[in-house]
Amino acid sequence: MKTPKWFMKKNLVAILLLPLAGVYYLSSRAVFKLRARNPLQSKRKIVCIGNILAGGVGKTPIVRQIAEFLDAPVVMRGYKQTQYTNGIGDEAIMLARGGLNVHTGDRKSNIILLNKQKSKNPIVMDDGFQNPAIKKDISVIVIDENFGFGNGFLLPAGPKRETVAALNRADAVIIMQNARAPKKYQSQKSVRDALKLPEKMPVFFAENTTISPYAENEPLVAFAGIGYPKKFFDRLKNVVVKKSFPDHYQYNDKDLKYLFDLANKNDARLITTEKDWVRLPVDVRDEIKYAKLETKIESKFFDWLEGKLNGDF
C-alpha cells in the first residue's frame, strides 16, 4: 500500500481514525504480552535493528553497515518474495548482493539453526523490535529526522506501531540525516528534547547520500515503490516526472510499458531505487538504472556497540 497522506499531519481523516487506533493499541499490547511469555534466548548475541513506524525510515542500509562491521549473519522475514528476487524479498536480496549472509523466513527457526554453528559472532535481526518472542541483547531504533514520528498517532490514524514509551525497551537511537541537506538536529540533547526520548538514551547520527548514475543535467523519470518515495525524489536532480507506487510493489509488463513511454515522451532516462530495481524483471535492468544510497554511521556508534557487546556498560 502507499503511505497515507494523513500519516504526516493531524488532519480530519487521522482524527476520525483515532478510535481504531485505540483498538489497535489494545490488541497489539495483548498480543505482545502473550508472545513475551517464553522468549527464545539465543546463545549468540542478538542485535535488533528496528523502528516504531510502519516502515520507510531507511533501516536496511543501517542493517547492512552493522552486519558488515560485526561480520554477522542477518535474519529477516524476507517480505514480498518474488521470482525476481530469488524468492527471498527485495530487502534481503539487497543485503545478499553486498555479500552478507542473509536468512529469511521464520526468524526464531533461523536463530536456532545459527546457534548450532561454531561461530560466536552476533546475529543481526532486521526488524522485530515489536516481537518479544526473541530476546534481544541490543535493540537499536532508527528514526528519520525529517519524519520523526509523523503525526504522532498509532496505526491506522498515524504511522506508529507503538507509543514513544516503547523506546524504554531500546538501547540506542540512530537518527538518519540527508548528507546534502541542512541538519534538523545538531546534538543528542536536541534529539531527545524534540522527540521526547528517554533522558539517558544514547543517540547517534547517520548520513545518507544518494548518488545518481547520470549527469546532473540528464532529464530523469524517477519512480519508486517504497514507504516514503518523496525522500528519494527530493534527493535527485533534474527530475521531470515522478511516479510513486505502493511499498514493495511488484512491477508488471503494463507498468513497465507505461514507464518507458513516459521516458520516451519526455526524452528522459528512467531511474529508481535499488530496492525497486531488484524487483524488476532481469531483461529490463540494463535499461533502467538505480541511484546508489550510501550510508555512513558516525564512528562513535561502533565504539558504543563494541562496548555494549563486551559488557563494558
Same domain, 190 and 273: no
Same domain, 247 and 305: no
**pLDDT for the residue 84:** 54
Same domain, 253 and 104: no
pLDDT at 82 over 60: no
Same domain, 147 and 229: no
Same domain, 189 and 278: no
Same domain, 161 and 238: no
- C-alpha torsion 290→293→294→295, nearest 10: -160
- C-alpha torsion 37→40→45→47, nearest 10: -60
**pLDDT for the residue 269:** 98
Does 141 fall in a domain? yes
Same domain, 304 and 229: no
Average pLDDT over residues 105-131: 95
In this structure, what CATH number is given to the domain that contains residue 113?
3.40.50.300
Same domain, 105 and 252: no
Cell 531505487 -> residue: 273
The total number of structural domains that make up the chain: 2
Does 230 fall in a domain? yes
Does 28 fall in a domain? yes
Same domain, 118 and 137: yes
Same domain, 195 and 303: yes
Domain that holds residue 269: 220-293
Same domain, 190 and 243: no
Does 215 fall in a domain? no
CA 88, 92, 93, 98 dihedral sign is negative
What would the pLDDT profile of 231-278 be if each residue is shown by its tens digit? 899 999 999 999 999 988 999 999 999 999 999 999 999 999 999 999
**pLDDT for the residue 173:** 97
